Chains A and B, each alone.
Chain A
Amino acid sequence: MKTKTLVKLATQSIQKNKMRAALTMLGIIIGVAAVLVMVGVGYGARSRIRQQINSLGTNMIVITPGATQQGGVSQGAQAFPNLSLADVEKIRGESQLVTAISPVIVSRTVVIGGSGNWRTQINGVDVDYQTIRDWPTSSGDFFSEDDVRANRRVAVLGNTVAQNLFPGEDPVGAEIQIRSAIFSVVGVLAPKGQTASGSDSDDVVLMPHTTASQTLSGRSFLPQILASTANENDIPAAQEEIATLLREAHGADDFTVRNQSDLASAAESSTRVMTLLLAAIASISLLVGGIGIMNIMLVSVTERTREIGIRMAIGARGSDVLTQFLVESVVMGVLGGLIGLAVGFTGAKILGHFTGWETVISPLMMLVAVGFSGAVGVFFGYYPARKAAALNPIQALRYE
């Protein structure tokens, strides 16, 4: 029989039992919709994480102390105070690829400003920090090299800090107090949003690292050095170069050099696992839906035994009967898949709307979802269809 005729036959037979077909398809609909929503949310989370990591800065290399293998034992990061300003100067002076480098001295303390106080993170950095993080100011300017050299007490406020200490006004030119020292605000950074770990990257005050080590930490080692290259492709080579220089200076591998994509892939792989897990749970409902199809097809074969007998008597081969029932279950599967696609798409959009996550459902995923539900139809329709095809025409004709 022609494919067109077969599909027509299948749709006719589904139409003759609308309610039953609808309930059977419901299993597939729920399964496909659940898988789509889960995967959509998972993809959304991944793309969000990627965005956030990219927002940290382009072409960024992060150098931290420690975290080396020593005699097979991995030492925790920052276990050793072994990064110093001398390292920064060495890289700045000798590296061919690194175009910007900045130490980062971190401390948390209370900042007192125009309308109260605010506990925040203070980062002592170099001028290059702005280039590395790709972070423009929304008002005023970043501090200058001169400020760094002269240990000036100047500060650049993150957007959150500025809004909390100086609500509704421009803090540039105003004074803030950190510990016992007075700083003048020279600039406000443009908002950057959340970091990958969910904290607020705008909740920060930047100041020259020279000033920071003098007034805040008093320590000479650096918890972190950031660097960047002119071109993203130079990053692996630059990492290698930095590692060589530091090894030369320290005589040991007592540091870690990572880049943004390392971070990104680590975060992404964890969300990928999560997405897979969610999809796996959701696909169980697809499986249940498939069993529903099998159940109904078995009932249908029994009910239509006489019809099968008639068809065989007038010349239908077993394969004709098999194809007829198989097409019927595939049509149900694909139809359920299409409806499930619509439901899942809408569901993901609604979920995305309420959570603020960008849910992503790619055309490929749609194709896979519908294709998979068709495959479920084939898989679970095969047994009943084979049963129908194996009927003896004489007995099938006599069946009441």
Chain B
Amino acid sequence: MSVIRTEKLVKTYVTGTTEVHALRGVDLNVEPGEFVAIMGTSGSGKSTLMNLLGCLDTATSGSYEIDGVSVEGLDRNQLADLRNQKIGFVFQGFNLLPRTSALENVELPMLYDRRGRKRDTRALAAAALERVGLGDRLEHQPSELSGGQQQRVAIARALVTEPALILADEPTGNLDTHTSIEVMALFQELNEQGITVILVTHEPDIAAYAKRIVEVRDGRIRRDGPVRNRRAASADLLVAEEEVA
């Protein structure tokens, strides 16, 4: 079963009398364990695609199935539940709740889980933070953490619900090069462990850490293929450290 399967996905925005065709028919299939980078310039439609894939918005036409669940005709509440159960979001601006500890930030998605499972949400949140290497920062608030650390908290928050995929929107956009590579190393590590990752970026350097690149232009997929010279972030980190030394 595919994690993501779209067919002729179309999104048209209507403002007044003008129609903007953001997506003009996208067919995309993502299997479990893939690491896909969606690339494109601004205005290419990649943000729209990411909103649709993230169940934040619904398509004008076409079909979309996430983890075997068809999104067609779902209402706001059902979309919210899908986001909660199937998708882990990582944003460019981290989007953590201010004045709220790392632990509580990571705990948050579990509090919105309506499946009524009895779980120790605290312990699960702590374990997720441990997994991203922030086991010693549980009680820190976002303002007390560096950008890289904040993004790790956000990744822990995305991981904690064990989603079908992690959807990262320009996750390195607000980070310096070194921290960016660190975050990509984390994504690669998680992908090694079997987690499906979709990365939206406009930077070829960052996309090179993925396994497959999907290029979007003018609302259509222009190129879809494996990464030829795939880079290993952990190796790049070692190189960078040697350069500093």
**B178 sits at the interface (CB 8 A):** no
Residues facing B in A178-210 (CB within 8 A) are none
The reply to whether the CB of B109 lies closer than 8 angstroms to some CB of chain A is: yes
Q: Assess the A311–B57 pair: CB atoms within 8 A.
A: no
Q: Tell whether, in the assembled complex, residue A313 and residue B54 are in contact, meaning their CB atoms are under 8 Å apart.
A: yes
A307 lies within 8 A of B83 (CB)? no
- Chain B, range 45-69, C-beta contacts under 8 Å to A: 51, 54, 56-57
CA distance A314 to B113 in the complex (A): 10
Proximity bits, B83-125, A CB within 8 Å = 1, else 0: 1110001010001111110000000110111100000000000
Query: Quick one: closest B residue to A319, CB to CB?
Result: B77
Q: A16-B99, A306-B95, A393-B56 are contacts. A313–B112 as well, Cβ < 8 Å?
A: no
Which chain A positions have C-beta within 8 A of B152?
none
B81 at the interface (CB under 8 A from A): yes
Chain B residues, CB < 8 A from A16: 99
Contact residues in A for B96 (Cβ distance below 8 Å): 310
A325 to nearest B CB, angstroms? Answer: 15
Given contacts A310-B95, A314-B157, is CB(A5)–CB(B111) below 8 Å? yes
Q: A312-B80, A393-B56, A394-B56 are in contact. Are A317 and B112 (CB under 8 A)?
A: yes
Instruction: Report B-chain residues with C-beta under 8 Å of the C-beta of A1.
Output: 111-112
**A241 contacts the other chain (CB 8 A):** no
B122 to chain A, nearest CB (A): 12
A315 touches B57 (CB 8 A): no
Cα of A394 to Cα of B52 in the assembled complex, Å: 10
- Asked if A23 lies at the interface with its beta carbon under 8 angstroms from chain B, I say no
Instruction: Give the complex CA separation of A397 and B84 in angstroms.
Output: 16
* A320 close to B (CB within 8 Å): yes
Q: Shortest beta-carbon distance, A322 to chain B, in Å?
A: 12
The answer to whether B54 and A316 have CB atoms under 8 Å apart is no
A-side contacts of B112, CB under 8 Å: 1, 311, 314-317, 320
Interface set, chain B 14-29, CB cutoff 8 A to A: none
**Cβ–Cβ contact B83 & A313, under 8 A:** yes
Chain B nearest CB from A69 CB (Å) reads: 69
A318 is an interface residue with CB less than 8 A from chain B: yes
Given contacts A315-B112, A316-B112, contact A397 B91 (CB under 8 A): yes
Interface string of A289-332 (1 = CB under 8 A from B): 00000000000000000110111111111111000000000000
Residues of A within 8 A of B108 (CB): 311, 314
Nearest-CB distance from B200 to chain A (Å)? Answer: 14
With A1-B111, A307-B97, A394-B51 known as contacts, the answer to whether A314 contacts B56 (CB < 8 A) is: no
B76 on the A face (CB < 8 A): yes
Q: Are A318 and B83 in contact (CB under 8 A)?
A: no
Partner of B80, one of A12, A307, A310, A315: A315
Instruction: Please state if B89 and A313 are interface contacts (CB–CB under 8 Å).
Output: yes
CA distance A16 to B85 in the complex (A): 30
Cβ contact within 8 Å between A313 and B85: no
CA distance A313 to B93 in the complex (A): 14
Whether B77 pairs with A315 at a CB distance below 8 angstroms is no
Given known pairs A1-B111, A1-B112, A5-B111, the reply for A313 and B99 (CB within 8 Å) is: no
Partner among A12, A310, A314, A393 whose Cβ is within 8 Å of the Cβ of B84: A314
- Give, as a whole number of angstroms, the nearest-CB distance from B137 to chain A: 19
A1-35 vs B, Cβ < 8 Å mask (1 yes, 0 no):
11001000000100010000000000000000000
Residues on B facing A (Cβ under 8 Å)? 51, 54, 56-57, 76-77, 80-81, 83-85, 89, 91, 95-100, 108-109, 111-114, 157, 161
What are 21 A-to-B residue pairs whose CB atoms are below 8 Å? A2-B111, A5-B111, A12-B100, A16-B99, A306-B95, A307-B98, A314-B83, A314-B108, A314-B109, A315-B81, A315-B84, A315-B161, A316-B84, A317-B114, A318-B76, A318-B77, A319-B77, A393-B56, A394-B51, A394-B56, A397-B56
The 8 closest A-B pairs by CB, nearest first: A315-B84, A315-B112, A314-B109, A317-B80, A317-B77, A310-B95, A315-B83, A316-B112
